[in-house]
Homo-oligomer: A and B are copies of this chain.
């Protein structure tokens, strides 16, 4: 059994991030790699957290918002009050995401129809040019 930890480089390759990013996330307390001497070793838990971090970023959440949410996914040594607060935060983020999805659906439709309109314009312009030849 390979102990299941990754070096910083392996971690970077796996997630397509830079070492700086991983150290930065550790400094911000989003990741907690173990140490072998002074070298970092990233555990399965770190990988799970990083995955959630990158996902959160794609939805436009700040690292701080993400950090608050991460505790929801690693429930173990939490106080109940802490968990309660985390749940509240999660509820907020959830409704953020649901609103965002609705708006996104809307925006996608808008963009599609606007594109169709422009494509039509271009097509007509081309036909006009052909007819003029």
List residues of A whose CB falls within 8 A of some B CB: 55, 58-60, 72-73, 75, 80, 83-84, 86-87, 90-91, 93-94, 97-98, 100-101, 103-105, 107-108, 111-112, 114-115, 118-119, 121-122, 125
Whole-angstrom distance from the CB of A112 to the nearest CB of chain B?
A: 7
Copies of this protein chain in the complex: 2
Q: In the complex, are the beta carbons of A90 and B111 less than 8 A apart?
A: yes
Whole-angstrom distance from the CB of A66 to the nearest CB of chain B?
A: 12
Q: In the complex, are the beta carbons of B108 and A101 less than 8 A apart?
A: yes
Q: In the complex, are the beta carbons of A118 and B72 less than 8 A apart?
A: yes
Interface SS, A side: helix
Residues of B contacting A91 with CB < 8 Å? 115
Q: In the complex, are the beta carbons of B121 and A75 less than 8 A apart?
A: yes
CA distance A83 to B87 in the complex (A): 47
CA distance A119 to B72 in the complex (A): 10
